Structure 1
Amino acid sequence: MSFKYLITVSFALFWILTLHAQSYTEQVKRFIAVDTNSVAITDVKIIDGTGNAPLSGQTVLFSEGVITEIGENIKIPEETLIIDGTGKTLIPGFVMMHEHIFYSMPFENWFSVGQMSFTFPRLYLAGGVTSMRTAGSIEPETDLNLKKWIEAGKMTGPRMDVTSPFIEREGYDIAELGFVSSPEEVRKMVQFWADRGVTSFKVYNHITREDLKVCVEEAHKLGLKVTGHLCSVTYQEASEIGIDNLEHGFMVSSDFLEDKQVDFCDPFRSREAIRALEEDSPEMKSLIDLLIKNQTAITTTPVVFEPYTDHEMIPGGGEEALATQVLERIKSQYDRMQGRDSSVHVQFKKDLKWLKQFHDKGGHLMAGTDPTGAGRTVAGYANQRTLEILVENGFSLGEAIKICSLNGAIYLGMEENTGSLEKGKWADMILIDGDLEDDIRNIRKTEIVFKKGTGFDSAKLFESVKGKVGLN
C-alpha cells in the first residue's frame, strides 16, 4: 500500500506545515516521505527496545524530532500529521555496531575490498539503521566526510561513529590494510586519527598484547573506545587489558587452542579448536563469566557467517542491489560451495547459543553485519536479516530488538537520545507494514525509517541503488 493511503491529515491544506529545522538538499529530499513539525502514529503495535513486551493499540506522538507522548487515548494536537498504524509495528531505529562503507571485491586469488561511498549509506538507512559504528575503515577520510555530509543534510544515511583504519601488523595479504611495526606506531596512530575526528578504534588479527595495551591506554585517555577482531591475542588477554568490545561473537576466539603461541595468530587451528568445543563447555562458561566481570561487550555478526551454512545466497534478499557482474561471480561461488561443510553450520549454531548464555548472564551483547566475507553480506538487507537470525535462534523478539538498538546506543553513550521508544528521546523509529510477532520476516516490509522525526521512504532508498553495489 502506498504512503498516500496511509497518511491522513486534519486539514485539507495541511502541506503548509513548517518543515523541521534540519535542512536537506534536493538529493536527500527525494527520499523523504514525512517531514513535518508534529506527527502522530496511531493504533500501532510498539516494541520499545527496552526489552518490554509489545503493546498494541498505541499512539506515538512526536514533535520537532522528539517523542512527546506514547500510550493510549492520547490527545492529538491540531495540525498534526496522522499516520494510521493499524496492522503495523513500530520499533526503534537500529543502532548497528559492526558496519563498513566497503564491500568485498576480490580479484583472482587476492582478497580485496572497495569503498561503497554512495550505495551503502542509503542501504543502511533503508534497512532501518539510524545510527551505526564503522568497525574499521579503509578510507577513513572518506568516512569522516560522509559523516559530516549526512549530518549537514547533504547526503542520505544514518549517523556514523567512525572507526580508525585497522590497527594491524603484517600477516594477511590485504592491499587495503596499513601495518604497524611497534607499539609506538600504535600510539601515534591513535593520536593522529583521534585528532582527525574518529570516535572508535579497531585492532585486528595479528597485533601483539603490547600493541593492544598501548591502544587501549591512549584511546581511554581521550574518552574513546577500542574494539577488536582478534586472533593473536585471546579474548581473555584482551579483556584483562581492558578492550571495550570483541567482534564476531565467539567465532574468532583463539582462547581454546591448547598450545597457542603468545602473540601469534593461527586462524585455522583456532577455528578447529572452537568447533571441537562442547556446547556446555566449562571453559566457555569461565570465559563468559570473565568477560561479564570485566564489562567487555560482544558484537555478534551472524549474517556474515550464515552464507556458509547452506542458507539463502544473499541473506535478507539483497541480490537486487548487486551489479550484474558481481552477482554472477557470487552465484558461481555459491553453487560450488553449497552445503559442503556441515561443521560450519554446527559452529554457527553453537556460537549463537554461547551468545545467548552470555546475554542471559548479563553480558552486554550488540549486533552488526560486517558486509565483507564472500561478498554475500549487503548493507541494509543484512541488518534486517540479523534481527531475524537472533529471533530464529532463541532470543525473544524484545531481546533481539534491544540487542540491535538500545544496547548499541548504550555502548556509544547515546542512550539518552536514541535506542528505544521513550518520551523525550529522538524519534528514531522503523514503521513496518505487518506484525513482527506473527512473522519476524515482516521486518522486510519496512515502510518508513524515521531519523530524528524525518521519515525516509525505505522502498525508494532500496530502489535507488538496485544493481549498483559493487560499482560504488
Structure 2
Amino acid sequence: MLEKTALVNGRIYTMAGNLWEKGAILWQNGKILAVGPDVAIPSDAEVIDARGKTVLPGFIDAHTHIGILEEIYAFEGDDLNEMTEPVTPELRALDAVNPYDLAFQDALQGGVTTVMTGPGSANVIGGTSLVLKTYGRTMEEMVLVPQAGLKVAFGENPKRVYSELKKMPSTRMAIAALLRQTLMDGQDYLAKKAKAQKEEDVFERDLGMENVSLVLTKQMPLRAHAHRADDIMTAMRIAEEFGVEIVIEHGTEAHKIVEEIVKRQIPVVVGPSFSNRAKVELAEITWRTAAVLQKAGVLVALTTDHSVTPIQYLPLCAAFAVKHGMPEEEALKAITINPAKILKLDERIGSLEKGKDADLVVMSGDPLDWRTRVEAVYINGKNVYSDKTSMNVT
C-alpha cells in the first residue's frame, strides 16, 4: 500500500458545489480519501504545499482524435478514417491510438487528464471510440472504457468523401438510409442470436454487428458528428426510432433548435469553436452556442476536437465561453464534471470528492485567466507533470 499524500493550503474548486479558499486533499492508492478545509493530515503523509495556487479536478475533453491523428505525420500517424467503405462499425479506435503521440504531453501541460478519442467523420459509421487517461506507457494502463460509443457522421464529410468515390452516400438521404439499415440489421442480428442461444444452435458472429448490438442494448451510445440544425434533428430522429442513446458532438447550429434538444434531454459536446469557417456547415460558428444551450438546461461540454484545436487549449475554450455569456462556474463544469457525466464516468472523475480518482490540476491562478499556468498535474494520485515551480514537497 502506498503512503498517503496531502496537498494543503490550496484554493480548491471541487466542482461538486464547494470552493475552499484554503483547503486540503488527501489521497492514497490513487483515490481521494478526504477533501475540504479541515482535513486531518497524517503525520507520515507526503505533504505538498499549494499555498497561493488553485486546484481543480483534471480537465476532460469528451471529443478528440488524440493518438489517432498524430500532428507531425502526414500519413504514418494518420489512422483517423477508413475511407474504403461508408459503414465500418467493426473498427475500434482502441487499436489505433499511439500512447506515445506527442499530443499526450501537450494534454498534461494543459491540465487535461482524461479524453474520449475516436474515429473521424468520413464514414457514416466509423467505429467505436474509447475513453482514456492521458498518461501511461501502454493502452492497458490508460484505458477507462475501451468502447465508449459508436461514431456516426451526418452532413458534408461523408457526402464529400463518397461522392468523390462514386459510391453511396452522396446525399443526406443516403447517410440516414445507411445508418437506419445498419441498425435494422443489428436488430435482426440480435433476434437471430437470441433464437440460436435458445435452441443451442450454432450462430455465426459478426464483429460489426456485435458493436451495433451494444448500441441497440444501450450499453453504449451513438456519438453523432452533426453541425447543421437539420442534421442534428435527423440524428435525434433516428435515435428515437430505434430507442438508442445519443450524444450530439460539435452542434454548431444547436442553438437554433435548443428547445428540441431540451425536450429530448440530449447532451451536446460543443466545438471546436476556435475553428474558422472551413466549410459551409460552420457558417454560423459562435462561442455563444454553448452559453445558449447551458442556459436552456442542456448538459454541455466543451471540446477542442484535437487536433483541430490543440488539446492543451481546453481551459481557454472555457474562458472564451465565459466571454460570450456562460457563467464562470458553468464554463468550468463544461471541462470537468459535465464531460464526466456525458461519458458516464462521473462516479470516478470530474470532481474532487471522497472515493474518486485523484486526478487534479494545480494552477498558478484563476483557471479562466489566459496568463495562468498549469504547474502540476496528478493522475491516479501520481505526479505526471510539473513545470518545476516553487511548490514544496516535504
Does residue 207 of structure 2 align to residue 192 of structure 1? yes
**What is the alpha-carbon root mean square deviation over aligned residues?**
4.3
- CA offset at residue 70 of structure 1? 1.6
Contact 2:150 2:221 in 1 (8 A): no
Contact 1:431 1:449 in 2 (8 A): yes
CA deviation map 1:256-297 (0-9, x unaligned): xxxxxxxxxxxxxxxxxxxxxxx9xxxx3xx21221110111
More strand by share: 2
Separation (CA, whole Å) in 2 of partners of 1:142 and 1:105: 24
- CA offset at residue 61 of structure 1? 1.2
Structure 2 vs 1, CA of residues 71 and 402 (structure 1 numbering), >3 Å: closer, same or farther? Answer: same
Separation (CA, whole Å) in 2 of partners of 1:221 and 1:425: 28
* Alignment match, 1:447: 375
**Greater CA deviation, 163-172 or 230-239?**
163-172
Contact 1:103 1:116 in 2 (8 A): no
Contact 2:113 2:135 in 1 (8 A): no
Does residue 11 of structure 2 align to residue 45 of structure 1? yes
Does residue 117 of structure 2 align to residue 131 of structure 1? no
* Alignment match, 2:385: 457
More helix by share: 1
In structure 1, the residue corresponding to 2:104 is in which secondary structure? Answer: helix
- The one-letter code matched in structure 1 to 2:24 is T
Contact 1:426 1:452 in 2 (8 A): yes
**Match runs of 1:357-436 below 5 Å:** 357-373=292-308, 377-379=309-311, 381-436=312-367
**Match runs of 1:2-401 below 5 Å:** 19=2, 37-50=3-16, 52=17, 54-101=19-66, 102-103=69-70, 117=98, 118=100, 119-136=102-119, 159=144, 162=147, 163-164=149-150, 170-173=158-161, 182-183=178-179, 184-185=181-182, 187=185, 192=207, 195=210, 219-230=215-226, 234-242=231-239, 244-251=246-253, 284=256, 287-305=257-275, 308=276, 347-348=284-285, 351-373=286-308, 377-379=309-311, 381-401=312-332
Separation (CA, whole Å) in 2 of partners of 1:59 and 1:356: 32
Identity of aligned residues (%): 21
Separation (CA, whole Å) in 1 of partners of 2:59 and 2:272: 16
TM-score with structure 2 setting the length? 0.68
Structure 2 vs 1, CA of residues 174 and 452 (structure 1 numbering), >3 Å: closer, same or farther? Answer: farther
- The one-letter code matched in structure 2 to 1:79 is D
Separation (CA, whole Å) in 1 of partners of 2:128 and 2:109: 21
Which residues of structure 1 form unaligned runs of 5+? 1-17, 20-36, 199-214, 254-278, 310-336, 338-342, 461-472
Which residues of structure 2 form unaligned runs of 5+? 82-95, 170-177, 191-205, 240-244, 389-394
Structure 2 vs 1, CA of residues 434 and 156 (structure 1 numbering), >3 Å: closer, same or farther? Answer: farther
Separation (CA, whole Å) in 1 of partners of 2:281 and 2:49: 44
Structure 2 vs 1, CA of residues 442 and 62 (structure 1 numbering), >3 Å: closer, same or farther? Answer: farther
CA deviation map 1:64-102 (0-9, x unaligned): 211122222322112101111111011111221111121
Separation (CA, whole Å) in 2 of partners of 1:372 and 1:148: 17
In structure 1, the residue corresponding to 2:61 is in which secondary structure? Answer: strand
Contact 1:45 1:56 in 2 (8 A): yes
Separation (CA, whole Å) in 1 of partners of 2:233 and 2:8: 48
- CA offset at residue 229 of structure 1? 1.5
Contact 1:92 1:429 in 2 (8 A): yes
In structure 2, the residue corresponding to 1:223 is in which secondary structure? Answer: coil
CA deviation map 1:312-367 (0-9, x unaligned): xxxxxxxxxxxxxxxxxxxxxxxxx9xxxxx999944xx33232122122111012
- CA offset at residue 57 of structure 1? 0.7
- CA offset at residue 54 of structure 1? 3.0
Contact 1:249 1:301 in 2 (8 A): yes
**Greater CA deviation, 90-99 or 66-75?**
66-75
Contact 1:303 1:385 in 2 (8 A): no
In structure 1, the residue corresponding to 2:60 is in which secondary structure? Answer: strand
- The one-letter code matched in structure 2 to 1:361 is A
Contact 2:10 2:55 in 1 (8 A): yes
Separation (CA, whole Å) in 2 of partners of 1:370 and 1:54: 29
In structure 2, the residue corresponding to 1:136 is in which secondary structure? Answer: coil
Separation (CA, whole Å) in 1 of partners of 2:79 and 2:136: 29
TM-score with structure 1 setting the length? 0.58
- CA offset at residue 402 of structure 1? 1.0
- CA offset at residue 135 of structure 1? 4.3
Structure 2 vs 1, CA of residues 303 and 289 (structure 1 numbering), >3 Å: closer, same or farther? Answer: closer
In structure 1, the residue corresponding to 2:345 is in which secondary structure? Answer: coil
- CA offset at residue 384 of structure 1? 3.0
Separation (CA, whole Å) in 2 of partners of 1:382 and 1:62: 28
